[in-house]
Chain A
Amino acid sequence: MFEIKEISVAYDGRTILDRIGMGLEQGTFTALVGPNGTGKSTLLKSIAGLIPARGQAALAGRVLNQNEKLKTVAYMPQDTGAQSSLTVLEVVLLGRLQSLGMRIGNDIRAQAIAALGRFHLEALQDRPIGAISGGQRQLVFLAQSLFRAPKVLLLDEPTAALDLRHQLIVLDRIRATCADSGMIAMAAMHDLSLAARFADRIVFLNGGMICADGAPDKVLNPAILQQVYGVEAEVQQGQSGVLHVSPVRALQREII
Chain B
Amino acid sequence: MATDATLAGSASGRQMARRLFWLMSISGLLAVAFIGDILTGPAFLNVFDVLAALVSPATAHDPTTVIIVHSIRLPMSLMALIVGASLGVAGAEMQTLLGNPLASPYTLGFSAAAGFGAAITILFGFALPVIPSMTIPVMAFLSAGVACLMVYGLAHIRGITAEVMVLAGIATLFLFQSMQSLVQYLAAPEVLQEIVFWLFGSMLKASWFSVSVSGVILVVSVALLLPDFWKLTALRLGDERAASLGVNVGALRRRVFFVVALLTAGAVAFVGTIGFVGLVAPHLARMMVGEDQRLLIPASAVCGGLIMTGASIASKLLSPGAVVPIGIVTALVGVPFLFGLILTGKQRHW
Mask for B217-246, Cβ within 8 A of A = 1, else 0?
000000000100111011011101101111
A50 vs B239: C-alpha distance when bound (angstroms): 11
A107-B1 CB under 8 A given contacts A87-B290, A94-B234, A125-B12:
yes
Q: B246 is contacted by which of A84, A97, A130 (Cβ under 8 Å)? A: A97
Q: A106 is contacted by which of B7, B240, B286, B290 (Cβ under 8 Å)? A: B7
Q: Taking CB as reference atom, which chain B residue is nearest A99? A: B230
A126 vs B230: C-alpha distance when bound (angstroms): 18
Is B233 touching A90 in the complex (CB atoms < 8 A)?
yes
Which candidate, A11-19, A74-82, A167-175, is the interface stretch facing chain B?
A74-82
Residues of A contacting B294 in the complex (Cβ-Cβ under 8 angstroms): 102
What bracket does the count of chain B residues touching chain A fall in?
A: 20 to 34
Is B233 touching A126 in the complex (CB atoms < 8 A)?
no
Mask for A103-128, Cβ within 8 A of B = 1, else 0?
00011011001000000000001101
Is A86 touching B236 in the complex (CB atoms < 8 A)?
yes
Q: Taking CB as reference atom, which chain B residue is nearest A86? A: B291
Q: B244 is contacted by which of A75, A85, A90, A109 (Cβ under 8 Å)? A: A75
Residues of A contacting B290 in the complex (Cβ-Cβ under 8 angstroms): 85-87, 90
A86 vs B350: C-alpha distance when bound (angstroms): 10
Residues of A contacting B229 in the complex (Cβ-Cβ under 8 angstroms): 102
Q: Taking CB as reference atom, which chain A residue is nearest B240? A: A77
Question: What total count of A-B pairs have CB within 8 Å?
Answer: 86
Is B233 touching A94 in the complex (CB atoms < 8 A)?
yes
Is A106 touching B243 in the complex (CB atoms < 8 A)?
no
A74 vs B348: C-alpha distance when bound (angstroms): 30
Residues of B contacting A95 in the complex (Cβ-Cβ under 8 angstroms): 245
Is A109 touching B7 in the complex (CB atoms < 8 A)?
yes
Is B1 touching A94 in the complex (CB atoms < 8 A)?
no
Mask for B308-350, Cβ within 8 A of A = 1, else 0?
0000000000000000000000000000000000000001111
Is A94 touching B7 in the complex (CB atoms < 8 A)?
no
State the Cβ distance, B98 to closest chain A Cβ, in Å.
Answer: 13
Residues of B contacting A130 in the complex (Cβ-Cβ under 8 angstroms): 348
Is A70 part of the binding interface, using a Cβ–Cβ cutoff of 8 Å?
yes
A84-B236 CB under 8 A given contacts A77-B244, A131-B347:
yes
Is B245 touching A97 in the complex (CB atoms < 8 A)?
yes
| Interface size, chain A (Cβ < 8 Å) | 36
Q: A70 is contacted by which of B12, B246, B292, B348 (Cβ under 8 Å)? A: B246
A94-B12 CB under 8 A given contacts A50-B244, A85-B286, A130-B348:
no
Q: B347 is contacted by which of A71, A100, A128 (Cβ under 8 Å)? A: A128
Is B237 touching A74 in the complex (CB atoms < 8 A)?
no
State the Cβ distance, A122 to closest chain B Cβ, in Å.
Answer: 9
Is B3 part of the binding interface, using a Cβ–Cβ cutoff of 8 Å?
yes
Is B4 touching A83 in the complex (CB atoms < 8 A)?
no
Residues of A contacting B243 in the complex (Cβ-Cβ under 8 angstroms): 50
A85-B245 CB under 8 A given contacts A113-B10, A126-B11, A131-B347:
no
Is A220 part of the binding interface, using a Cβ–Cβ cutoff of 8 Å?
no
State the Cβ distance, B12 to closest chain A Cβ, in Å.
Answer: 5
23 of the cross-chain contacts (CB-CB < 8 Å) are: A48-B244, A50-B244, A75-B244, A77-B241, A80-B238, A85-B286, A87-B12, A87-B290, A90-B233, A90-B291, A98-B246, A100-B230, A102-B226, A102-B229, A106-B4, A109-B12, A110-B2, A113-B12, A125-B11, A125-B12, A126-B11, A126-B15, A131-B347
